[in-house]
Amino acid sequence: LIPFKNCLKSPERNKGISEVIESKRLFELRVLIVNP
């Protein structure tokens, strides 16, 4: 696992992390819609 400081220095890595967070959020929304 890469230390958090290195993540801050790498914009591409930050973008990847935010994309993962975004997809998790979308997945959670889908689950909520399917299982109210």
- Domain map of the chain by residue range? 4-34
Integer CA distances (angstroms), 29 to 5, 9, 17, 24, in order: 30, 31, 19, 9
pLDDT digit string (tens) for 1-36? 555 565 556 777 778 888 888 899 999 888 888 876
For residue 36, what pLDDT is reported? 64
- What's the token pair of residue 2? 């890469």
For residue 2, what pLDDT is reported? 54
